[in-house]
A and B are shown apart, each in its own frame.
Chain A
Amino acid sequence: MEKRDYSLIGPSAQRAAEQGLVAADWYHPDVPRKRMKELMRRSDGPALRDTAVWLTLLIGFGVAGGLTWGTWLTVPCFIAYGVLYGSATDSRWHETGHGTAFKTSWLNDVLYQVASFMNLKEPTFWRWSHARHHTDTIIVGRDREIAAMRPPDVAKLVINVVGLRDAWDTAISVARHAAGRLTEEERSFIPEDEHFRVRREARAWVTIYVAVVALALVLHSLLPLMYVGLPSLYGRWLATLFGISQHAGLAENVLDHRLNARTIHMNPVFRFLYWNMNYHVEHHMFPMVPYHALPRLHAEVADNMPTPYPSLLAAYREIVPTLLRQMREPDHYVRRALPPAAQPFRPEMHDAVFEA
């Protein structure tokens, strides 16, 4: 079976450029400028409230976990602490990276650094990686954030439920960056004048982790690592489930987010933890819209969108069999159906992709 080339510096990157898939024009539904300005409007209020709730819960469960350490009661406390530390930070990293969570820039910048650390995402490295993901979403050879490549490595996806793959990759990457080196692929999307930030952040992370491990050794206790370090693993499962649901099993090399991303209806708890990134098609179309306005954007553009998935479970009922089939048939994927009245976008090009 021929393995697809997902490298950013290989033949697929060249082919994507030749096919006009690089930095191309993507489909956007028509939204009146006046309405768009309302939806894009920034505010500190929602994110300050949500961050206060998140921090209160994080500290509360952390203190409860410490007080009950050594008893079975500590287990639910650290399960909750872990989800708040290792999963909720994925959307916090993401939204503050876009600079849309808060109106005040420095609030975005502070939470971006904190959440990136907790979520094992090197801040500058991921800022540039994510910019590429938005330019060339699920374009093979251009987007390094394709979670489920074809054929999918299901074993790696499964071990990543507890973050083992991400942690290993990040540990190698941080060590390399702390030593002052970036790979050729990293240099393809991180500008040279940003490299010093990558090195500086990696060295700061190494310092923090060394200090926490040293504290654990001095105290002869695992407890310090239960607060910093390990929750990025044992609390990561929900972020992994959210993350895979965004694009896995859908079309590659299309220029329409309706065909390569999922919008999924979720309960209020998930939406708080995920900061409304379940409206993922809408987020990709209009990354200027803050998370708290995404439900309104979803309603605004609904007529041109595929039917949303009713729940995360419903999405996984599609994703799991699709990924299992892709192990045998890498060309298989789910082709999302647009409503009959929806605006088409470059149907001749997408029909050619689908037929291929």
Chain B
Amino acid sequence: MGAGGWVDACAIDDVEAEDVIEVECGGRTLAVYRSPEDTFHATDALCTHERASLADGLVQGDIIECPKHNGRFNYKTGEARRAPARVNLCTYPVRTEAGRVLIELG
């Protein structure tokens, strides 16, 4: 773990462009996204609707679509964008360093 609650989550190369993976870090299960613009983002791993793993979903631009009911979130802001998703996702600050993705768990 780095200073200030930053946790090593995965390698940059673990996540393809416009995709998502699930990681365990700091005792939590999180989803790590790599946007088409090559920026990295992190949210809670499970959909706020019925707890499906978002890592099985589809990333399109800034949107993650849940694999179970097609609810959508903006994974950069956590905002719920399409029913049945109604409760926003929790997001986490992310930075990259030496080929690694670090997440601040706070």
Contact = CB atoms under 8 A, between A and B. Distances in A.
A330 B70 CA distance: 34
Interface residues of A, number: 22
Contacts, number: 43
A99 B51 contact: no
Interface residues of B, number: 18
Interface of B: 19, 49-51, 56-58, 60, 65, 67-70, 72, 82-84, 86
A351 to B, nearest CB: 26
Contacts of B50: 23, 135
Interface in A23-59: 23, 36-37, 40-42
Contact of A287 (B49, B51, B68, B83): B68
Interface of A: 23, 36-37, 40-42, 98-100, 103, 105, 127-128, 131, 134-135, 191, 193-194, 286-288
30 contacts: A23-B50, A37-B58, A40-B58, A41-B58, A42-B60, A98-B70, A99-B70, A99-B72, A99-B82, A100-B70, A105-B82, A127-B84, A128-B83, A131-B83, A131-B84, A134-B68, A134-B69, A135-B50, A135-B68, A135-B69, A191-B86, A193-B86, A194-B83, A286-B67, A287-B67, A287-B70, A288-B57, A288-B58, A288-B65, A288-B67
B28 to A, nearest CB: 20
Residue from B19, B82, B84, B86 having most chain A Cβ neighbours under 10 A: B84
Contacts of A100: 70
Contacts of B82: 99, 105
B72 A37 contact: no
Contacts of A287: 67-70
